[in-house]
Amino acid sequence: MKIILSASVIALAAAAVPAAARQLTIDDVTMLSRVSSPDVSSDGRWLVWQQRETDLAADRGRFDLWRLDLNKKNAKPEKLAAEADVNETAPQFSADGTTIYFQSDKGGDDAIWSIAVGGGEPRKLTGFQGGFGGFKVAPTGDKILVWADRRPGAPSLAPAMVKKDPNAGAARTYDQMFVRHWDTWADGTRSQLFVLPLTADGAPGDGTAIEGTLVGDTPSKPYGGGEEVAWSPDGKTVYFALREAGRTEPLSTNLDIFAAPADGSTAPVNLTDANDGMDNLPNVSPDGRSLAYFAMKRPKYEADRQVLMLRDLATGQTRALTESWDRSVGSIAWAANGKTLYVTADDTQETPAFAVDAATGKVTRLTQLGHVSGVVPTAKGIVFALNSLTAPDDFWLLSGRKTTRLTSVNAGKLAGIDMPAVTRFSFTGANNDTVWGYAVKPAGLAADAKVPVAFMVHGGPQGSSNNSWSYRWNPAVFAGAGYGLVAVDFHGSTGYGQGFTDAIRNNWGGWPLEDLQKGLAAATTKFGWLDGDNACALGASYGGYMMNWIEGQWPDRFKCIVQHDGVFDARAMAYETEELWFDEWEHGGKAYFEDPAAYEKWNPVNYVDKWKTPMLVITGEKDFRIPYTQGLAAFTALQRREIPSRLVVNPNENHWVLKPKNSRQWYGEVLGWMDKYTAK
């Protein structure tokens, strides 16, 4: 079964663009509604989701719950729980489809609440103190699984009573690595699992810990969630992914999948101990007989291929279901009949949904264009979220061979905005491999007009400049500002097979730079509306590294450079970053002191004497992945060489820029810098 979503289908469902259409701006993007966390009732009638709205005055997002009647033709979304100044998130249906459980911070403390699908007054179910990260209701409806940060070995959710010394100083003290992660300093707590009873009167008490003596974070941090924990259909067992903590934690990607009784009566059992690579996304079949998950083979490699696995829970026999499919499974969901699994995976600048036959492993592509997420199998088909480079997320239903759009949540906000045109292209890159890219053309451009080039390099580096919407680096915003944006999926990118992804290891400044050079030449030759002599390069994370590398290796090509959170000195990075497994894997698997030559080969700091291109440097003080000292050092190098340069430091941002006001300022700085040097 192959369903083709044409470009016209995934374009915005708005009225015909009026004659006075205008360009997209970051002010528009920051105010868009963002849908996520869909769930569907067991009878397939009701779709619910959380929806983020921007409170610009408070410089944050706020969440409400919405619902849609899938039985009603042309039904419109309705608010279900939407109290002002309250966040309602993570909706989950009861097994009978009549009740929705959700998380709310009403009253100032997070708790689990419920509401009838038809509406009414929400009811608070829990009263434990200390906050929590998330929850899942058992399929049997008599228990709730909660994950929360507590001291290792905590017997329940009740916060530990810690006596504070009034004369103590404020210093943190540590005896082993992983003292900070992503944007948070270690405080001695771990995300752990607890089970509470769920009765007609609510979910009373502080619950029971089920992880025994295990020490680690489940879900994983910083951004693991409910996809990393799963109930058995009978509600007796919880499956979860966890990397055991210790002195090797910052060197290990070895998450394993454990099974634990929901009553905490016995210690968890490690089901994937034989694999030293990562195992994650446990998902139990509807009949309770099989456990689906993904497995990576190579330890310490966070971007290894994620193969869909099936484990017979009775015998322990395991099959690598997609071993022969050279793609990496990103999400997993079972069909109700247990015969099919629905997965997503990057594939040549798209992220489609696929069906995998549970018996044979046969893979069938279900969607074509755009980025699919949030797949929910239902009685009527699969519901999923879909976005593209020119359209933020909305929900769709695939039923048989028919695809139906369910929502157009931003149609009003985007009315009158003319989106750019996106064209993919390919060329022969490094190693004589086919490399793909895309060019984004501003809307309404005259036939004989030329625009300056914004040459954007993605991060990861195992990522992709794919057909997806972004609230941080949005190509349509650059096009709206009058730039022709060009992006290339260089060696190391995902969606082209694992060999292509692996090719960047020990090769950071080699084949990727060759691809970028050839790709920009191919784009400016192919697209006459690009002013190839008037270009700026920009990138973040690995893309930021590449900006520093380009300064020394391709110094005469660009009018200006924008470098965000990029590695400037590989030696310092090797000792400053938190997830050591990533940096060491990328340089051959050894620490800097064991093989300094591997790090110095592609180290931008060694070529500062060749730097000459004006550069804007951006960093976040809470970025522990590529610490802000790397940005300060790059800015110092620029200033000492008297190269035109500017430094932007976000005191309250991490590796990303997330707050709406900071996002607007970021685009003002970036576009202002580019305008200055392209004389727009």
Q: Which of 104, 232, 655, 663 is catalytic?
A: 655
Q: What CA–CA distance (Å, rounded) separates 378 from 659? A: 35
Sheet holding 307-312, edge to edge: 279-284, 290-295, 307-312, 318-320
Q: 541, 564, 565, 587: which one is catalytic?
A: 541
User: How far apart, in whole angstroms, are the C-alpha atoms of residue 406 and residue 388?
Assistant: 16
Residue 678: helix, strand or coil by DSSP?
Answer: helix
Exposed/middle/buried for residue 561 (C-beta within 10 Å: 0-12, 13-18, 19+): buried
Q: Examine the residue annotation and report whether 156 is marked as an active-site residue of this protein.
A: no
Strand-pair category, 645-650 with 615-620: parallel
DSSP structure class, residue 164: P
Burial class (CB in 10 A: 0-12, 13-18, 19+), 233: middle
The strand pair at 363-365 and 111-116 is best described as unpaired
Backbone angles phi, psi at 26, to 5 degrees: -65, -25
Cβ partners under 8 Å of residue 680, min gap 6: 452, 482, 674
- Distance CA(586)–CA(137), nearest Å, equals 40
Q: What is d(CA 571, CA 552) in angstroms, rounded to the nearest whole number?
A: 17
623 is catalytic: yes
> Is there a contact between 254 and 243 (Cβ–Cβ < 8 Å)?
yes
What whole-number distance in Å separates Cα of residue 85 and Cα of residue 106?
A: 8
CB 145 within 8 A of CB 195: yes
Strand 46-55: give its sheet, edge to edge: 34-40, 46-55, 60-69, 78-81
Is 541 an active-site residue? yes
Residues 50 and 52: their CA atoms lie apart, in Å, by 7
- C-beta of residue 14 within 8 angstroms of C-beta of residue 373: no
d(CA 46, CA 114): 16
Which residues are designated catalytic?
A: 541, 623, 655
